[in-house]
Chain A
Amino acid sequence: MSELVERSVVTPTGSARVWEKGVGNPIGFFAGLGGLPAWLPVLDRLAERHRVVAPSLPGFPGGANFERLDDIFDWSLAAIDLVMEAGLIGADLIGPSVGGALAAEVAALRPDLVRKLVLIAPYGLFDETAPIADVFACKPGEQSGLLTRDPQAYDAYRTRPNSANEMDWTVMQVRAEMAAARILWPLGETGLRKRLSRIAQPTLIIWGAQDRVIPPSYAAKFAEAVAAETKIVTIPDAGHKVEFDAPDAVAAAIAEFLAC
């Protein structure tokens, strides 16, 4: 397997980091809450058979400044720009959580850009009978436990490497929270429901059975609203960050879906 390569692309929003690894058909990856402070094991699994390309969304680690992105229209355009500039035209696109909400927008608005779509516990819908938990109202130290089944491992993943400046590392993580809040606040529907019916690409929906943020019942709601044929895979023993909790199972489900 090839090494992780970092490059940067310039979009109308600003310049953004692109991480890339592996050879084969390209797969785009928009990270979820917290972005990618470091590379993830699930992406290594995927890079065994694909060229995984992860451009950073604005505000997330490595991303452009998001201050002027006011609404979902601005964010969707920024996501489309990233897909195009990162060389992902016609590639498969994967998005967990907040990245999934934007991946779905890209597939709906620019079907020419996306071959197959993988949504991993995406935001974008809201069910009043099963409300989304508020990750933005956690007491100090509680958020990791809400996001994953293994908060200690997740905290370790987010720990500052010795090479990083303490202030910059902390601000990077705070900024990722700000960017997610800018997109999702106050956690209601983003308008995506109206556009899911435009998604004609084959779509895989992955959910952690133990997701405490967005209940697994949302998987069926997405499947119902997407126009194309969909497949739902529920991963046992995984929380909202399914791709972190169960990298092997998630990578296997994606590999199988993309291969057929």
Chain B
Amino acid sequence: MRALWFHLMPYQDLPDNFKDEHPSVWVSIDRHLFDSQRGHELYNEYMDELEFAAAQGFDAICVNEHHANAYGLMPSPNLIAASLARRTSDAAICVMGNSVALYNPPTRVAEEMAMIDCISGGRLIAGFPVGTAMDTCYAYGQNPGLLRPRYYEAIDLITRAWESEEPFAFNGRFNQQRYVNVWPRPMQKPRPPIWVPGSGSIETWDMCAEKDFLYAYLSYFGWQASAGVMKGFWNRMKELGKEPNPFHAGFLQFVGVAETRKEAEKLYARHADYFYNRCLHLDSGFSSPPGYTTEESIRARLGSQIAAAAGAKGGGPQTIAGDYSKTKFFDEGHVIIGSPDEVADKLREVATQLNVGNILLLMHFGDMPRELTEYNTSLFAKKVLPQIKGLFEDEWEHKWWPKPIAPGQRQQPAPVTAFAS
């Protein structure tokens, strides 16, 4: 079992009346709410926390990309990852990821990730999400109906740029480059492992099976929300003749650990509330631009809604926009809390049930202060991690994990010295 310590980097000072007085956390977020002095503090604090997690023994530290978003301060996760690569030595660096359709040409992603892979000595996990509608279509103006074709083409271009032995010409529907020749080359050969965060579409599962990418389902609504999707994923893998290797899949989980469950509730409740009731306060108009969801998926969704109207069980559209004021984050499994033993038991149970060997842990959430984040992280590292670490490791090989150079070969940053005046 691999434990990845994931930071969203939320802005912490959204006001108490945010939900009532402001239209959205994303796209139209009020720019006056951003204080650059706080930005300075938060970036440094959050990078410290990621480095702290790496030093505590988590298998990877993980960053991601959002735009015009007050709960995700990383328009460029690559900047953060480059810095983390210098200040950590063993943990994998998971960039989860770059929304590759946004980059023109996408070769830029191949170059920057090759740089991170070289700087880190081959510790990079390359994540390729389609990107949310808010990030890609609204904040970045991408045509919603062309986003997916661009995404698939960009992945094709990037992987060829990494794997090709020679410079080549790329003549795509959206990208044309007479000369593709990525320098530097990635350290991992032929390329870093590719992880794909998906939303449950069959199309994405098939791509992961065909190209041997890891599939991760990242939901803010915990393991219960992930269960149905992971079941669908494994059914599809079986149909395609893939072995049920749990390391082929990942899921996201908020976790808060303390000496007792009661104590955990006391420590983490307000920060979970900040996340669900301020960070997820999204203008619902931004959640579904026409064309972002394919006609095929809409038909499938409508089918289940029509069935639901007829009394059968069905699912609604997937959007994070909603009212969480009455949500019981802990009882409903959005956030797993408890004593170290309780959390370990739950995670083992969930990982086994979902058959998932990679867990992306959000142990900082909302406006959690540094001390509590470090407490959560170190208690987990000391008392939970040893209990879950061995899961699946004897039965299965992890084929989607970075293959860095030997520790002895890795460069360490030289101490900074000043010349005497």
On A, residues with C-beta under 8 Å from B are 70, 134, 136-140, 142, 166-167, 170-171, 174-175, 177-178, 180-182, 185-186, 188
Contact = CB atoms under 8 A, between A and B. Distances in A.
Interface of B: 137-138, 141-146, 173-174, 283-286, 289-291, 295, 298-299, 302-303, 306
Contact of A137 (B141, B146, B289): B289
A90 B344 CA distance: 76
Given A136-B289, A171-B302, A174-B290, A181 B295 contact: no
Contacts of A174: 290, 295, 298
Contact of A171 (B145, B146, B299): B299
B298 A171 contact: yes
Given A181-B290, A182-B146, A138 B285 contact: yes
Contacts of A136: 144, 289-290
A178 B299 contact: no
Contacts of A171: 295, 298-299, 302
A167 B302 contact: yes
A136 B283 CA distance: 13
A184 to B, nearest CB: 9
A185 B136 CA distance: 12
Contacts of A177: 290-291
A140 B284 contact: yes
B54 to A, nearest CB: 39
A70 B142 CA distance: 12
A259 to B, nearest CB: 38
Contacts of A140: 284
Contacts of A166: 306
Contacts of B290: 136, 174, 177-178, 180-181
A57 to B, nearest CB: 15
B143 A182 contact: yes
B286 A167 contact: no
Contact of A167 (B137, B143, B284, B299): B299
17 contacts: A134-B285, A136-B144, A137-B138, A137-B286, A167-B303, A171-B295, A171-B299, A175-B295, A177-B290, A177-B291, A178-B145, A181-B145, A182-B143, A185-B137, A185-B141, A185-B142, A185-B145
Q: Is the interface of A mostly helix, strand, loop or mixed?
A: helix
A181 B285 contact: no
Contact of B141 (A142, A175, A186): A186
A137 B142 CA distance: 14
Contacts of B295: 171, 174-175, 178
A167 B306 CA distance: 8
Given A134-B285, A181-B145, 14 more contacts: A70-B146, A137-B283, A137-B286, A137-B289, A139-B284, A167-B299, A175-B295, A180-B290, A181-B143, A181-B291, A182-B143, A185-B143, A185-B144, A186-B142
A170 B295 CA distance: 11
B216 to A, nearest CB: 28
Nearest to A167: B302
A182 B146 CA distance: 8
Contacts of B284: 139-140
Contacts of A134: 285
Contacts of B144: 136, 178, 181, 185
Contacts of A178: 144-145, 290-291, 295
A131 to B, nearest CB: 13
Contacts of A137: 138, 283, 285-286, 289
A171 B296 CA distance: 10
Contacts of A138: 285
A178 B298 CA distance: 12
Contacts of A142: 285
B302 to A, nearest CB: 6
B22 to A, nearest CB: 15
B96 to A, nearest CB: 26
A178 B144 CA distance: 8
B254 to A, nearest CB: 28
A186 B173 CA distance: 20
A185 B143 CA distance: 6
A203 to B, nearest CB: 29
A32 to B, nearest CB: 15
A185 B286 CA distance: 14
Contact of B302 (A170, A175, A180, A182): A170
A171 B146 CA distance: 18
